[in-house]
Amino acid sequence: MLGVLANRAYRHMFTAQVVALVGTGLATVALGLLAYDIAGASAGAVLGTAMTIKMVAYVGISPFVGAVADRVPRRAFLVSADLVRAGVALCLPFVDSVWQIYALIFVLQSASASFTPIFQATIPDVLPDERDYTRALSLSRLAYDLESLFSPALAAALLTLVTYQGLFNGTVLGFLASAALVVSVVLPKATPSERKEGVLRRTTLGARIFWATPRLRALLAMNMVVAAASGTVIVNTIVIVRDTLGRAEGDVAIALGCYGAGSMLVALGLPRVLDRLGDRPVMLPAGFLLTAVLAAAAAVVSLAPATAWPLLLPTWLLLGAGAALILTPGSRLLRRSSSPGDRPALFAAQFSLSHACFLITYPLAGWLGAWVGLPATLAVFAGLTLAAALVAVRAWPAGDPSTLPHVHTGLAAGHPHLHGAESADAGWGHSHDFVIDELHERWPGRAGEPVDAR
């Protein structure tokens, strides 16, 4: 897996991702302490609103970024986003009212919603070989999971030396280091899209490609599976451990650590599995695994605390493993399902749509837990994951070949794309690696079906 780090451009980009993640983790801890300083007992409500603002920024800003990403230099775009994030982190220690937190969080997360999908869309061009790209995805998954474990520990250590305002300085340094690392490499130029569309029309391009591509409709459903499982863990772990089971504060970290450990174990071994099996045989069963584990979790939290605790830890580990089985291959589907010019818009759509799922499951997990209790909430979420997994199975055709025969009825004879095509009913037929693009607006439901726009 580490062999991909021999590629200098990827090594610097991956390191940029890691240091930015650590900086973000420090900011998360510091922001909680800042909110408590300003709002006291209402700090939870302030942070909850801040998280909602974060998700709204992710869902709303990314499509606009995808619409213009092929028109600006990648390196300048990524560096600018890092500098904006560093500027916001520099301002946070001077905040003295709640509205300022909200405003700065919106700017910070808008910059993140700009940086992340373009960063993700760049990696397939830096590592064009699918085997290398798969290993890069596993490394990225490991980075996210390790950050969730490492950043709180680092923050705790730093707080013995500095005040929480000092943690924001670490965030600034992280984003500046990320910008410097991006500057230090030459990135492949983005392939300009050939679509003759305005910016507003292009904001929906990624979503249109999602809806037109069967495997991506399945990915959208699997996003909901992950959001249901992860939302349950993120929102309700502290309630389950502290209130339902009566455990100590440190046990919350142990439970969350088990979730992260499950994800990391999968990330370490998944590249070889994907090389052998492909995406569909890995991702679809993972949806049903998460359904079964959530149903088991509903039973576990109904048990006596002494019995439930040792069972909760492997349950959380399996939830982390199942989520990673879906998240890690997801970017392979995006790469496979887009032309280079449309790739930024598609990655931006995935970023937006996946976080839209979290915007549903986060509050739902909290509200249901308070209204109907945790066992019933986990059972409801098991049903939600089952429904989404069944939708994914129905949407994603077995076999799912990349090369599809199809007919063009809207292209004139002699068009460069028709080189080697044969005359067919009312058009020209041929076969090639098929993606939705400016010449292929519809997925061929059967061999020889026209794919031109109606």
Say which residue, 85 or 54, is predicted with more confidence: 85
- 194 lies in some domain: no
User: Is the pLDDT reported for residue 63 higher than 80?
Assistant: yes
User: Is the pLDDT reported for residue 428 higher than 90?
Assistant: no
**pTM given for the model:** 0.86
User: Is the pLDDT reported for residue 220 higher than 60?
Assistant: yes
Give the whole-number percent of the chain exceeding pLDDT 70.
Answer: 93
Q: Model confidence at 381, in pLDDT bands (50, 70, 90)?
A: very high
Dist. CA 388–CA 407, nearest whole Å: 33
Cβ-proximal residues to 208 (8 Å cutoff; 6+ apart), any chain: 436
Co-location of 346 and 231 in the same domain: yes
Co-location of 275 and 297 in the same domain: yes
Co-location of 426 and 378 in the same domain: no
Co-location of 392 and 428 in the same domain: no
**Per-residue pLDDT at 11:** 92
Dist. CA 382–CA 404, nearest whole Å: 36
Co-location of 334 and 250 in the same domain: yes
**Per-residue pLDDT at 235:** 82
Alpha helices in 92-213 (DSSP H): 98-126, 130-159, 164-183, 199-202, 205-212
User: Is the pLDDT reported for residue 168 higher than 80?
Assistant: yes
- 330 lies in some domain: yes
Dist. CA 147–CA 325, nearest whole Å: 19
Co-location of 383 and 235 in the same domain: yes
**Per-residue pLDDT at 45:** 67
Other Cβ atoms less than 10 A from the Cβ of 201: the count is 12
The stretch 98-102 carries a mean pLDDT of 86
| Domain of residue 415, residue span | 401-454
Co-location of 38 and 165 in the same domain: yes
- 87 lies in some domain: yes
CB 327, CB 290: distance < 8 Å: no
For the stretch 237-286, pLDDT in tens is 888 888 888 888 778 878 888 888 898 899 888 888 998 999 999 999 99
Least confident of 186-195, 348-357, 372-381: 186-195
Report the mean per-residue pLDDT for the chain: 86
**Per-residue pLDDT at 41:** 64
DSSP one-letter string for 264-280: HHHHHHHHHHHHHH-SH
The stretch 186-191 carries a mean pLDDT of 79
Co-location of 381 and 408 in the same domain: no
Highest mean pLDDT among 45-49, 68-72, 201-205: 201-205
Co-location of 439 and 331 in the same domain: no
User: Is the pLDDT reported for residue 71 higher than 80?
Assistant: no
State which of 186, 221, 239 marks the end of a domain.
186
Dist. CA 326–CA 284, nearest whole Å: 8
**Residue 437 DSSP class:** B
DSSP one-letter string for 239-304: IIIIIIS---HHHHHHHHHHHHHHHHHHHHHHHHHHHHH-SHHHHHHHHHHHHHHHHHHHHHTTS-
Which CATH number goes with the domain that contains 11? 1.20.1250.20
User: Is the pLDDT reported for residue 374 higher than 80?
Assistant: yes
**Per-residue pLDDT at 229:** 93
Question: Side chain identity at 362, as an amino acid letter?
Answer: Y
- 195 lies in some domain: no
Co-location of 163 and 246 in the same domain: no
Dist. CA 67–CA 59, nearest whole Å: 14
- 419 lies in some domain: yes
How many residues make up the chain in this entry? 454
Q: Per the structure block, which two tokens stand in for 101?
A: 């937190």
**Per-residue pLDDT at 101:** 85
Dist. CA 239–CA 366, nearest whole Å: 10
Co-location of 236 and 181 in the same domain: no
- 192 lies in some domain: no
The stretch 71-80 carries a mean pLDDT of 87
**Per-residue pLDDT at 44:** 60
- 174 lies in some domain: yes
Co-location of 243 and 125 in the same domain: no
- 200 lies in some domain: no
Say which residue, 124 or 152, is predicted with more confidence: 124
Domain tally, the chain: 3
**Per-residue pLDDT at 344:** 86
For the stretch 128-161, pLDDT in tens is 888 888 888 888 888 877 777 677 667 777 777 7
Residue where the block lists tokens 């700065």: 104
Give the whole-number percent of the chain exceeding pLDDT 90.
Answer: 28
**Per-residue pLDDT at 232:** 87
Cβ burial 219-242 (10 Å sphere, 16+ → b, else e): bbbbbbbbbbbbbbbbbbbebbbe
State which of 153, 186, 219 marks the end of a domain.
186
Least confident of 28-37, 95-104, 214-223: 28-37
The stretch 92-109 carries a mean pLDDT of 87
**Per-residue pLDDT at 281:** 95
The stretch 320-343 carries a mean pLDDT of 90
